[in-house]
Amino acid sequence: MTHRHFIIHKPYGYLSQFVNNQTRRKNKKLLGTLADFPEEIMAIGRLDEDSEGLLLLTTDGKESERVRSKKVEKEYYVQVDGLITPEALANLSNGIEIGIKGVKYMTLPCKVKALKPPPNFKERTKKVRDDRHGPTSWVSITIREGKYRQVRKMTAAVGLPTLRLMRVRIGAIQLDSLESGEVIEVNRLEI
Protein backbone atom coordinates (compact mmCIF):
# COMPACT_ATOMS: atom_id res chain seq x y z
CA MET A 1 0.00 0.00 0.00
CA THR A 2 1.27 3.46 -0.88
CA HIS A 3 0.77 5.86 1.98
CA ARG A 4 -0.08 9.53 1.57
CA HIS A 5 1.19 12.44 3.64
CA PHE A 6 0.10 16.06 3.95
CA ILE A 7 1.40 19.23 5.56
CA ILE A 8 -1.30 21.73 6.48
CA HIS A 9 -1.70 25.06 8.22
CA LYS A 10 -4.64 24.36 10.54
CA PRO A 11 -6.78 27.47 10.82
CA TYR A 12 -8.16 28.80 14.08
CA GLY A 13 -11.60 27.35 14.85
CA TYR A 14 -11.09 23.92 13.25
CA LEU A 15 -11.07 20.57 15.04
CA SER A 16 -8.17 18.21 14.27
CA GLN A 17 -10.54 15.51 13.01
CA PHE A 18 -12.23 14.49 9.79
CA VAL A 19 -15.47 12.76 10.74
CA ASN A 20 -18.11 14.29 12.94
CA ASN A 21 -19.49 11.37 14.92
CA GLN A 22 -20.77 13.42 17.84
CA THR A 23 -24.04 15.27 17.43
CA ARG A 24 -22.97 17.98 19.91
CA ARG A 25 -20.20 18.96 17.47
CA LYS A 26 -22.31 19.06 14.32
CA ASN A 27 -21.66 22.76 13.72
CA LYS A 28 -17.90 22.50 14.15
CA LYS A 29 -15.40 22.97 11.33
CA LEU A 30 -13.44 19.82 10.47
CA LEU A 31 -10.16 19.34 8.58
CA GLY A 32 -11.91 17.29 5.90
CA THR A 33 -13.41 20.49 4.48
CA LEU A 34 -9.94 21.87 3.62
CA ALA A 35 -9.08 19.31 0.91
CA ASP A 36 -10.05 15.97 -0.62
CA PHE A 37 -8.22 13.66 1.79
CA PRO A 38 -8.07 9.85 1.54
CA GLU A 39 -10.46 7.93 3.77
CA GLU A 40 -7.67 6.49 5.98
CA ILE A 41 -6.15 9.90 6.81
CA MET A 42 -5.25 10.79 10.40
CA ALA A 43 -3.77 13.81 12.11
CA ILE A 44 -0.37 13.22 13.70
CA GLY A 45 -0.99 14.69 17.11
CA ARG A 46 -3.60 17.37 17.47
CA LEU A 47 -4.08 21.08 17.77
CA ASP A 48 -7.14 22.13 19.76
CA GLU A 49 -9.87 24.23 18.19
CA ASP A 50 -8.34 27.49 19.45
CA SER A 51 -4.82 26.67 18.21
CA GLU A 52 -3.36 27.23 14.76
CA GLY A 53 -0.40 26.23 12.71
CA LEU A 54 1.52 23.25 11.45
CA LEU A 55 -0.27 19.92 11.42
CA LEU A 56 0.90 16.76 9.68
CA LEU A 57 -1.48 14.18 8.26
CA THR A 58 -0.79 10.63 7.11
CA THR A 59 -2.38 7.32 6.21
CA ASP A 60 0.58 5.51 7.85
CA GLY A 61 0.10 4.62 11.54
CA LYS A 62 3.79 3.77 12.00
CA GLU A 63 4.77 7.19 10.66
CA SER A 64 2.30 8.81 13.04
CA GLU A 65 3.89 7.01 16.02
CA ARG A 66 7.40 8.02 14.88
CA VAL A 67 6.51 11.72 14.62
CA ARG A 68 4.62 11.76 17.94
CA SER A 69 7.56 10.20 19.78
CA LYS A 70 9.72 12.15 22.24
CA LYS A 71 12.53 12.05 19.67
CA VAL A 72 10.82 14.77 17.60
CA GLU A 73 10.71 18.41 18.72
CA LYS A 74 7.53 20.46 18.37
CA GLU A 75 7.93 24.25 18.48
CA TYR A 76 5.15 26.67 19.34
CA TYR A 77 4.96 30.46 19.25
CA VAL A 78 2.69 31.56 22.06
CA GLN A 79 1.19 34.97 22.74
CA VAL A 80 0.60 35.30 26.47
CA ASP A 81 -1.39 37.72 28.60
CA GLY A 82 1.26 39.79 30.37
CA LEU A 83 4.98 40.37 30.09
CA ILE A 84 7.21 37.29 30.12
CA THR A 85 9.87 37.50 32.83
CA PRO A 86 13.26 35.77 33.09
CA GLU A 87 11.85 33.85 36.08
CA ALA A 88 8.85 32.60 34.05
CA LEU A 89 11.17 31.58 31.19
CA ALA A 90 13.37 29.63 33.63
CA ASN A 91 10.38 27.93 35.27
CA LEU A 92 8.98 26.87 31.91
CA SER A 93 12.32 25.59 30.61
CA ASN A 94 13.12 23.57 33.76
CA GLY A 95 9.76 21.79 33.72
CA ILE A 96 6.62 22.85 35.53
CA GLU A 97 3.79 21.06 37.27
CA ILE A 98 0.49 20.96 35.38
CA GLY A 99 -2.67 18.88 35.71
CA ILE A 100 -3.56 16.12 33.25
CA LYS A 101 -7.01 14.57 33.80
CA GLY A 102 -6.92 15.52 37.46
CA VAL A 103 -3.42 14.13 38.06
CA LYS A 104 -0.38 16.31 38.72
CA TYR A 105 2.28 16.01 36.02
CA MET A 106 5.78 17.51 35.82
CA THR A 107 6.62 18.56 32.27
CA LEU A 108 9.98 17.62 30.84
CA PRO A 109 12.64 20.34 30.53
CA CYS A 110 12.21 22.22 27.26
CA LYS A 111 13.59 25.10 25.21
CA VAL A 112 11.97 28.46 25.93
CA LYS A 113 12.85 31.97 24.76
CA ALA A 114 11.16 35.34 24.51
CA LEU A 115 10.38 36.42 20.94
CA LYS A 116 11.51 39.98 20.31
CA PRO A 117 10.34 41.35 18.02
CA PRO A 118 7.08 39.39 18.06
CA PRO A 119 6.26 37.21 15.04
CA ASN A 120 4.39 38.86 12.21
CA PHE A 121 1.41 36.53 11.84
CA LYS A 122 -1.72 37.59 10.00
CA GLU A 123 -4.70 38.43 12.16
CA ARG A 124 -6.79 35.38 12.90
CA THR A 125 -10.52 35.17 12.22
CA LYS A 126 -11.35 35.84 15.89
CA LYS A 127 -9.29 38.80 17.01
CA VAL A 128 -7.07 38.42 20.06
CA ARG A 129 -7.88 41.11 22.63
CA ASP A 130 -6.18 44.47 22.07
CA ASP A 131 -3.60 46.40 24.10
CA ARG A 132 -6.25 48.31 26.04
CA HIS A 133 -6.52 45.21 28.24
CA GLY A 134 -2.82 45.24 29.16
CA PRO A 135 0.45 44.12 27.59
CA THR A 136 1.08 40.82 25.88
CA SER A 137 4.29 39.06 24.94
CA TRP A 138 5.39 36.23 22.68
CA VAL A 139 7.45 33.22 23.66
CA SER A 140 8.84 30.22 21.75
CA ILE A 141 8.32 26.89 23.54
CA THR A 142 9.89 23.72 22.09
CA ILE A 143 8.78 20.45 23.66
CA ARG A 144 9.32 16.75 22.96
CA GLU A 145 6.09 15.57 24.56
CA GLY A 146 2.50 16.42 23.83
CA LYS A 147 0.09 16.14 26.72
CA TYR A 148 -3.47 17.45 26.38
CA ARG A 149 -3.32 21.27 26.08
CA GLN A 150 0.18 21.12 27.56
CA VAL A 151 1.57 24.43 26.30
CA ARG A 152 -1.55 26.33 27.43
CA LYS A 153 -1.34 24.69 30.87
CA MET A 154 2.37 25.50 31.11
CA THR A 155 1.93 29.22 30.45
CA ALA A 156 -1.05 29.39 32.82
CA ALA A 157 1.08 27.72 35.54
CA VAL A 158 3.49 30.68 35.44
CA GLY A 159 0.63 33.20 35.55
CA LEU A 160 0.61 34.03 31.83
CA PRO A 161 -2.51 32.61 30.15
CA THR A 162 -2.19 31.78 26.45
CA LEU A 163 -4.03 34.16 24.13
CA ARG A 164 -2.83 32.72 20.82
CA LEU A 165 -0.94 29.51 20.08
CA MET A 166 0.72 28.72 16.75
CA ARG A 167 2.72 25.53 16.08
CA VAL A 168 5.55 26.56 13.77
CA ARG A 169 7.74 23.45 13.58
CA ILE A 170 7.64 19.65 13.90
CA GLY A 171 11.17 18.25 13.66
CA ALA A 172 12.65 19.70 10.47
CA ILE A 173 9.28 20.61 8.92
CA GLN A 174 8.44 24.30 9.33
CA LEU A 175 5.24 26.27 8.85
CA ASP A 176 7.15 29.00 6.98
CA SER A 177 4.88 30.83 4.53
CA LEU A 178 2.08 28.25 4.41
CA GLU A 179 -1.17 30.22 4.48
CA SER A 180 -3.96 29.42 6.93
CA GLY A 181 -6.00 26.54 5.47
CA GLU A 182 -3.34 25.66 2.88
CA VAL A 183 -2.66 21.96 2.28
CA ILE A 184 0.41 20.46 0.58
CA GLU A 185 0.76 16.77 -0.28
CA VAL A 186 4.30 15.41 0.05
CA ASN A 187 5.91 12.07 -0.83
CA ARG A 188 7.46 11.70 2.63
CA LEU A 189 7.45 13.48 5.96
CA GLU A 190 11.09 14.46 6.30
CA ILE A 191 11.36 14.97 10.02
* 48 included as an active-site residue: yes
Q: What is the pLDDT of residues 129-138, one digit of tens each?
A: 766 788 999 9
Q: What is the pLDDT of residue 27?
A: 79
Residue 186 has pLDDT above 90, yes or no: yes
The CA distances from residue 113 to 137, 154, 177, in Å, are 11, 14, 22
Catalytic entry in 36, 48, 130, 131: 48
pTM of the model: 0.94
Residue 91 has pLDDT above 80, yes or no: yes
Q: What is the pLDDT of residues 23-74, one digit of tens each?
A: 455 678 999 899 999 999 999 989 999 999 999 999 999 999 999 999 999 9
pLDDT band at 21 (very low <50, low <70, confident <90, very high): low
SS3 content of the chain, % helix, strand, coil (to 5): 20, 35, 50
pLDDT band at 22 (very low <50, low <70, confident <90, very high): low
The CA distances from residue 174 to 13, 45, 56, 89, 166, in Å, are 21, 16, 11, 23, 12
Measure the CA–CA gap between 146 and 73, rounded to whole angstroms.
10
Residue 170 has pLDDT above 90, yes or no: yes
Reduced to 3 states (helix: H, G, I; strand: E, B; else coil), residue 7 is: strand
Phi, psi (deg, nearest 5) at residue 25: -110, 20
Q: What domains are there in the chain, each with its CATH number?
A: 5-69+173-184 (3.30.70.580), 74-170 (3.30.70.1560)
Q: What is the pLDDT of residue 25?
A: 58
pLDDT band at 146 (very low <50, low <70, confident <90, very high): confident
**Higher per-residue pLDDT: 176 or 24:** 176
